[in-house]
A and B are shown apart, each in its own frame.
Chain A
């Protein structure tokens, strides 16, 4: 399998890339820090990925760079079977309310620019007779909650887009896999209080890889979060109004 990963230097993307490396998939990495990209590529090769693991700079804040980054990946891998987007930004509700610049950045990265990246991947994969586009959204997009109003809104929009893309393009061979991680212990969530059912990034990545291999349109990782969100989606509004989670 030939896989392009956006955001594999950290967190769940790192774990997922390692699982792919161990089974010998050919990998190409996009990211915004050259040192991290290089260290991640070396790690993946040491874990069994076929050498070389190519890298190119790509920052989700700068949509103008997407085309050349995707060109580099398509050229190096001679076509791509799977694109995985785990990159994204997180901010607590307080931080996002307090800082307009940060707020605009998070909303742009998690919603508009991630969608723009997918829109540029779509024609490439359709021209290649299809493939799998796997994007990490969040359970925060499933239901509005006080702690994730802004972040959740961006992820809700992203989730709806990905659902729609799958409706449109699956017949033509482009399978969209929407991953909704629950609380996963990574550097991104390090400052938050840990809720029940928190999982490690490796566990989440194993579930995500199963979804990619099967082409599951929507997958909660780890799967127990499907149940948790089912309950949260059915909570009456007055409960969400009175509680603070």
Chain B
């Protein structure tokens, strides 16, 4: 078992904040979670969700605990340990005619992380969050008991754990449904639109026809072009239209060290290149990795970001807020001096069963922002607006939201806190995020 006695610097994906933390990793998840104060998977949450709440806390790293318990090929159900990665699941099941539903934008996440953040993806308007496909969980709760949790057994704990950011207990095993996939390949279309309104319209109207949709916006363009974008839509290719062989797994070369090439200037050029290369309508069969996980083309892409770190601001605005709401939010961001490197829009379907799950019907806006002295002010101003508009932010991405803002956005919080208190009255399991947002002691 890896025990880092004095602790080592640990960060989330955005490399900010940095916390010196004790952590240990083992194939034996029951052993490694015993007495631990938080579980951590592949560390893809951007901010402080996977960092311990206090310096004497012990983080259990789950990535070595990655056994599949069983696979039922009749019903398409898998049960696996929480440390298995989505990349592994994709490699194992795509060529057997199954896919993991509600895949997020990276496959370098663990099953436990997918449950804790109740992840969503390009398919949210058709498939909902990952939690909708979860049948049961095996958990170690704060008093060290190990429980089987589902809609039938401790349903409150089950729903509080979907999207509960790992704060209701340690996830040991996850049982979930796969979805039949006619082939591993994807039929994808993309098309550019010259302004924000037409991009949002195109995204919304693609929903009923296409199971996977997403829009990418160029926020570094100035004037009328601000918010121009490319809408991407796709579906699993039918066997007749795709190559007969399954898509070969890709092993992306990792960026070996910090190489901060991403800045406002380089991203302005990249956004322009991307817009002009995708402006015209394109349609074709693409590798699923290229469609679902464009940022996984190299490993550790976060090493390209500025040294001071970055965050992602992702908020959902309810349908009523419309394109105007979206434009106003983006205006606030730019006015407050944030540099929006990369922006992604997604129209959500309804709210899921996770008590704290992020998505609800409306438009989701996700923007990568480098950490500068102005980022906190921009996030505060955006949060004022989002709270007033009836929206909320995504905790898996969040680094800088203040407790009062989150409480104002989240009328469901007291109910979730009540369940958490019932299972963990002393808040033994806590993270830097729960200290920041839920008032846990450090």
Residues of chain A whose beta carbon lies under 8 Å from any beta carbon of chain B: 10-11, 14, 22, 39-40, 42-43, 45-48, 185-187, 190-191
Contacts and interface: CB of A to CB of B under 8 A. Distances in A.
B2 interface: yes
Interface in B56-83: 64, 67-71, 78, 80
Given A46-B78, A190-B2, A191-B1, A40 B67 contact: yes
Contacts of A190: 1-3, 24-26
B70 A10 contact: no
B92 interface: yes
The number of chain B residues touching the other chain, given as a range, is: 10 to 19
A10 B26 CA distance: 10
B26 to A, nearest CB: 5
Given A47-B92, A190-B2, A39 B24 contact: no
Interface string B1-16: 1110000000000000
Contacts of A47: 68, 92
Contacts of A46: 68-71, 78, 80, 92
A52 to B, nearest CB: 14
Q: What's the dominant secondary structure at chain B's contact region?
A: mixed
Contacts of B64: 185-187
A37 to B, nearest CB: 12
Given A39-B67, A39-B69, A40-B67, A48 B92 contact: yes
A165 to B, nearest CB: 31
A75 B96 CA distance: 31
Interface of B: 1-3, 24-28, 64, 67-71, 78, 80, 91-92, 96
B92 A187 contact: no
Nearest to B84: A43
A99 B186 CA distance: 59
A191 B3 contact: yes
A49 to B, nearest CB: 11
B82 to A, nearest CB: 14
Contacts of B1: 187, 190-191
A164 B398 CA distance: 59
A42 B2 contact: no
B59 to A, nearest CB: 14
B27 A10 contact: yes
B69 A43 contact: yes
Nearest to A43: B67
A174 B68 CA distance: 34
Given A46-B78, A48-B92, A187 B67 contact: no
Contacts of A14: 27
Q: Lowest 3 A-B CB distances belong to which pairs? A: A46-B68, A190-B2, A46-B71
22 contacts: A14-B27, A22-B92, A39-B67, A42-B67, A42-B70, A43-B67, A46-B70, A46-B78, A46-B80, A46-B92, A47-B68, A48-B96, A185-B64, A186-B27, A187-B26, A187-B28, A187-B64, A190-B1, A190-B2, A190-B24, A190-B25, A191-B1
